[in-house]
Amino acid sequence: MDQYGTAPSPAEHPGIFRSEEMCLAQLYIQSEAAYGCVAELGELGLVQFRDLNPDISAFQRKYVKEVRRCDEMERKLRFLEREIKKDQVPMLDTGENPDVPQPREMIDLEATFEKLENELREVNQNEETLKKNFNELTELKHILRKTQTFFEEHEELQVEALLPLEVTRDLHAPDTPALIMQLRFVAGVIQRERLPAFERLLWRVCRGNVFLRQSDIDDVIQDAVTGESVNKTVFIIFFQGDQLKTKVKKICEGFRATLYPCPDTPQERREMSIGVMTRIEDLKTVLGQTQDHRHRVLVAASKNVRMWLTKVRKIKSIYHTLNLFNIDVTQKCLIAECWCPVNELERIKMSLKRGTEDSGSQVPSILHRMETSENPPTYHKTNKFTRGFQEIVDAYGMATYREINPAPYTMITFPFLFAVMFGDMGHGTVMLLAGLFFILKEKQLEAARIRDEIFNTFFNGRYVIFLMGAFSIYTGFIYNDIFSKSINLFGSSWRNTYGADFFQEHLTYEEQEKPFMLVPEKGFDSPGGPYPFGLDPVWNLAESNKLSFLNSMKMKASVILGITQMAFGLMLSLYNHRYFKSDLDIKWMFIPQALFLGCIFVYLCLQIIAKWLFFTAEANTVFGYDYPGSNCAPSLLIGLINMFMQKSRDKGFEGPTCYLNFWYPGQSFFEFIFLAVAICCVPVMLFAKPYLMWKEDQLRRGRGHAHLAPVELILLVVALVQVPLMLFAKPYLLWRRQKGYQPQIDQPGTSGGFQQSVRADMNGEDVEVVQHADEPPKENGASHGGGHGHGDGPLDMGDVMVYQAIHTIEFVLGCVSHTASYLRLWALSLAHAQLSDVLWTMVFRHAFGFDGYLGAFITYALFFVFFFLSVGILVLMEGLSAFLHALRLHWVEFQSKFYGGHGYPFAPFSFEKILQEEREAEEQA
């Protein structure tokens, strides 16, 4: 819900300063050409289609059959891909972009896939059966081998004990009378992890009357269906009696143990074993052949699979898009509605033409521009450099259609504000090199398709990082700070007044260690002038007051930078108001806001600059007052507070509190005026615009609906109680304006002011058409129309009113709090400098205390500690925090001055985007 309505049409400000101008267009496409046209538009990627059948569910649309066919093809391709991956055949992925296949080609594709799938399934099935056989035989082989050892152990037992001998002999000689215990056995294979439970259950069910021997199979057997490796164990169970046999068999079945026939005599076992071995060999050859065949099929398919997938996805997206279209009654033509950039209309028309010609349709497709009152989507053209910054802005909120795009300004201010907090030539260089590396290796890194989220964050922000690094070097140069050290490029403007002999002659050893002060009047070497650029390196040696000097400088610099940026934001709001031709906003919103900001905050900035310029270390005359020295330089903070309090102060620089006095002639008068103007601006901002609009509306109402006079009277009375009602009136009027100017239709001649007529234009033809349709009943019952307006009014009122009040109050309070907020520039810069100082003195400096080889080694070792801590803590962590603060300064402090952010992004139908998304989804799965 923006307060501007729709924008006027002339395309001034082209390029990146505002979003692209969009228009709603209607497409009439012959149904036979529709496929080709949409394909061309998809390649172009500049058109956002609207769903014209929102009420029809997905499966009732016209092209659902084709979509389903595509789904089926995709499934087959996925199946192929899985199989290819299973066999570890390399897939050819050139990333090429095949053209959209013709609709009739779809049948060929389908047939190809069908054939491939069937072939593969058949091969798989064969392989599965073969594998199963193979597994069974392998298991049998193991059984025979293991049982052999079991039985051999028994033979040994025969010698030792008599009873087992009887038992085993029974086993081998079934013809002995069955009076003696008849021991029988089953042998089989079971999964190893199931064995304990199996054994337990067996024991429990058979009450301990069975004897189980087991032995693990060392080879890993591959499951025929899933292809997973399973460990198995051979077991042999001895028992007696039929009842136990059924039980044992049931349990075996329950635990999915496979039982194999095992001959009783060693002779037979050996023969069987030999037979099994030969069969295994045979199977191996057959299996090998099958696998070769499968491999050949897959290798052949692997060359095309990615290309096919791209094709199928394109077809599918085309049919999805066609499903959004409306079908003409005659069934001959499809109607589509789309948003497209006005500048690209020609290219779109060309694409349509190409699409129509390619499909051999006789009737050309028609693109017809429509007028609409709807808010068009916001479309910013970006390139790889601007994208990062545009995303920073968009992350806060998509710009309202055609409002000023902060991104171009952000491109410079963002890295700059970052650098103010991160000012260090050394760290800046590290960052610059990192950014440069990403930029130079851009192509390779993009091709490598690294999926790491953190890497991608950095990689996508490579140009931001690069600029942040460059600006950090610049501010580092101004701060004269490289890894917390300074460089003396131009020669310091300060000289040591003490001299070497002073220390030797006059002071004891202990006293030499004490800090000495350079008296400004004497120590400053004025003929050379101040240090020409940046901070004088001598300050790095001033241990006790370096901080207080830097703090004062950085604090003032941040306030100036902050207020400059806010004032710039405010200027942008002027351009917004002017672009949307909102005269009222300029007069009653922008001007009071600018006055408010100017009278207090810009005045503060001017004071800061004046203080820098005129107040030196030496005594001189400032604005006609005798200035004794730096202890009388005015205190601006207390001065600002006193300005608000309107406290009377002495003039000139006299007395013990000379820094609190007025320091230029007429200061009390000017400050009174500034304060008065600023305070007056507040109610103007809050009430003036609503009041004027309300009044004008009353005027129009008074003429339009004369019988509403009593209401007007009451309203006038209420108007005396200004505050609540005026708050109430503006939102109400805003609502009126949104609804389109009905009263203006009633009374075309009486439209009060300039901005009303403009607004009627802005509402566009579409609205007007509606009004014309409504006109006759309205003329007859004008009072009814008015009543209707009253009835609906309060609905939006609360919302708009709260929004409006917040907006006004936010600006006033915001000016104060935002200025304070910019002090984070100073705070972070201070923290950064201190941290890097700590790292130097606590870590690296220790290395210099040693001489010789030891010193070299320690320097070598400590350098790495120092370097990695520098990169880890200072560049990465501090960099991140400075980045976040810069982000906040842009989103909150800067953009709140002018940026609406109520738009919605332009989402064109583009193959490139769709394929990209599909690929990402695929990679994530």
Partner 1 sequence: MGEFFFNIDHGYLEALIRGFKGGILTQSDYANLVQCETLEDLKLHIQSTDYGNFLANEPGAITVGVIDERLKEKLVTEFTHLRNNALEPLATFLDYITYAYMIDNIVLLITGTLHQRPIAELISKCHPLGSFEQMEAIHIASTPAELYNAVLVDTPLANYFVDCINEQDLDEMNVEIIRNTLYKAYIEDFYKFCENLGGKTAEVMCEILAFEADRRAIIITINSFDTELSKDDREKLYPRCGKLYPEGLVGLARADDYEQVKQVCEWYGDYKALFEGTGPNPGDKTLEDKFFEHEVKLNVHSYLHQFHFGVFYAFIKLKEQEMRNVIWIAECISQRHRSKIDNYIPIL
Binding region for partner 1 (CB under 8 A)? 57-60, 64, 67-68, 71, 74-75, 78-79, 117, 194, 197, 200-201, 204-205, 247, 250-251, 253-256
**59 vs 864, which CB is nearer to partner 1?**
59
**59 vs 853, which CB is nearer to partner 1?**
59
Closest CA to 596 of 687, 726, 692, 683: 683
Write down the least CB distance from residue 198 to partner 1, Å: 8
Contacting residues for 754 by C-beta, under 8 A, at least 6 apart? 583
Closest CA to 898 of 567, 413, 573, 563: 573
**111 vs 769, which CB is nearer to partner 1?**
111
**195 vs 434, which CB is nearer to partner 1?**
195
Write down the least CB distance from residue 75 to partner 1, Å: 6
Instruction: Name the DSSP class of 494.
Output: B
Residue 22 has phi, psi (to 5 degrees) of -115, 160
Placement of tokens 């950095």 in the chain: 458
Give yes or no for a contact between 477 and 425, defined as CB atoms under 8 angstroms apart.
yes
Write down the least CB distance from residue 70 to partner 1, Å: 12
Write down the least CB distance from residue 329 to partner 1, Å: 24
Indicate the helix (H) or strand (E) that contains 366: strand 366-370
The bridge status of strand 211-216 relative to strand 625-627 is unpaired
Indicate the helix (H) or strand (E) that contains 368: strand 366-370
Q: How many CB atoms lie within 10 A of CB 293?
A: 15
**41 vs 116, which CB is nearer to partner 1?**
116
Give yes or no for a contact between 116 and 76, defined as CB atoms under 8 angstroms apart.
yes
Write down the least CB distance from residue 183 to partner 1, Å: 21
Buried b / exposed e over 657-690, threshold 16 CB at 10 Å, is: ebbbbbbeeebbeebeebbeebeebeebbbbbbb
**79 vs 459, which CB is nearer to partner 1?**
79
Residues 282, 271: Cα–Cα separation, whole Å: 17
Write down the least CB distance from residue 82 to partner 1, Å: 9
Write down the least CB distance from residue 122 to partner 1, Å: 13
**309 vs 684, which CB is nearer to partner 1?**
309
What helix, strand, coil percent values describe the chain, rounded to 5?
65, 10, 25
Write down the least CB distance from residue 65 to partner 1, Å: 10
CA torsion sign, 565 to 571 to 573 to 575?
A: negative
Indicate the helix (H) or strand (E) that contains 854: helix 852-869
Give me the numbers of helices (H) and strands (E) for the chain, helices first please: 35, 13
Write down the least CB distance from residue 216 to partner 1, Å: 19
**71 vs 216, which CB is nearer to partner 1?**
71
Write down the least CB distance from residue 52 to partner 1, Å: 19
Give yes or no for a contact between 878 and 832, defined as CB atoms under 8 angstroms apart.
yes
**194 vs 611, which CB is nearer to partner 1?**
194
**172 vs 200, which CB is nearer to partner 1?**
200
Give yes or no for a contact between 579 and 12, defined as CB atoms under 8 angstroms apart.
yes
Write down the least CB distance from residue 205 to partner 1, Å: 5
**76 vs 427, which CB is nearer to partner 1?**
76
Closest CA to 584 of 684, 462, 490: 684
Residues 195, 178: Cα–Cα separation, whole Å: 32
